[in-house]
Chain A
Amino acid sequence: MRRPLCAAVLSAGLILSAIPARAHHSFAMFDVTKRVTLTGTVTMFEWTNPHAYIELDVTDEKGTVKHWSIELGSPSILMQGGWKFKDLKYGDKVTMVVSPLKSGESGALLSTITMPDGRVLGNGPLPPGGGRQ
């Protein structure tokens, strides 16, 4: 009797939908309930796998520079959202909305970015806050 009971409980508890696997890792490192706006200067744009990255210097009102590492989706996912590999370069001024790391370190997941030419891009084809990359 014990086994069927246990199986029945699991049957009720583990009806899971066919959610596709995330590409590389969980995004639970980031606090996606938070949205932080950063305005700064691009020091590097890496169009790479498994993720693209923007390195950003942000200067506060006292003139102190804080550096941020911003994680994006992969090139394939970004291209589906309208990105191109040469969209950013050293010295570009950008404003972005990001979800910061829960650890408090100055790293974050991109939500949206206003490009130097005024375009607003997301982190792939899904709308901002649309979940997985």
Chain B
Amino acid sequence: MNGSRRALAVLVLSLMAGSASAQSTSDLTGVWAPYRGGRGADPALAAPPATALVLKPEYAVPFETRRKTEAEAAARGEPIASAAVACVPYGVPRMMSVALYPIEILPTAGQITIVAEAFSEVRRIYLNKSQLPIDDVPPGYYGHSVGHWENGTLVVDTVGIKTSVPAYQNMPHSARMRITERLRLVSADILHDQITIDDPIVLEKPITYTLAYRRMPGYEMVEFVCDNNREFIDEKGGTHLKVRDR
């Protein structure tokens, strides 16, 4: 083998290695609970702070007005109800972080399924498929998600979330919202989901925040069927608890 052929062989081999590395996967299988850090926790594993949420002015003003209304209602003890008060599920992306409830990640051939314990929500991520045009996805709670691996990080693209489904901090969003997630292990048992929301209609710039999870070996997911909802919503949208006489 002469020098030029040897160099070509090395180049081909390195490209092949690079390709294999780029597609290398991580085993995310199992149950994961929110990782809050706190006392005794490694701060290096905690989620980094979110970037600023910057809405376009025409959306920022009503958003701020709504937040003030919500604060006043909360002070009265009549917090403005979200859809979740009526047991409507959260959808993507909020289902990925609901209070202390875990999620379960279930890889199968060509697909990764994520089950959230709260409200028993299910989302499906189709691997190594092209994303559909946004206009071809029926607006819904989970939209259409495709994913691929980049150096051990699962990169997920989601479109088709309908505008009534809550997004980050209840920010408004349009049908053009696109969600990009990067799920990666930052240690053997700590998982980060970096979520970037872009919406050219509503946002001045994309918002990025990160959710941290800890592995829960042996945990069995608990059923969650919302069949005893005692909260009710008044005509002003306030939340109340039905108190029984006896």
A residues with a Cβ closer than 8 A to B are 2-3, 6-7, 10-26, 28-31, 43, 46, 48-51, 53, 55, 57, 67, 69, 71, 74-77, 79-80, 101-103, 105-107, 124-126, 132-133
What are the residues of chain A within 8 A of B74 when measuring CB–CB?
Answer: 26, 28
Residue of A nearest to B212 (CB): A18
What are the residues of chain B within 8 A of A50 when measuring CB–CB?
Answer: 87, 224, 226, 228-229, 231
- Say yes or no: A76-B224 contact (C-beta < 8 A), given A23-B84, A29-B239, A50-B87: yes
- Say yes or no: A18-B228 contact (C-beta < 8 A), given A67-B245, A101-B243, A133-B99: no
B145 to chain A, nearest CB (A): 19
What are the residues of chain B within 8 A of A10 when measuring CB–CB?
Answer: 52-55, 60, 64
Q: How far is the CA of A79 from the CA of B85 in the complex (A)?
A: 22
Complex contact A102–B225 (CB within 8 A): no
Size bin of chain B's contact surface: 35 or more
B101 to chain A, nearest CB (A): 6
Complex contact B94–A49 (CB within 8 A): no
What are the residues of chain A within 8 A of B73 when measuring CB–CB?
Answer: 28
Complex contact A22–B99 (CB within 8 A): yes
- Among A2, A21, A46, A67, which residue has its beta carbon within 8 angstroms of that of B90? A21
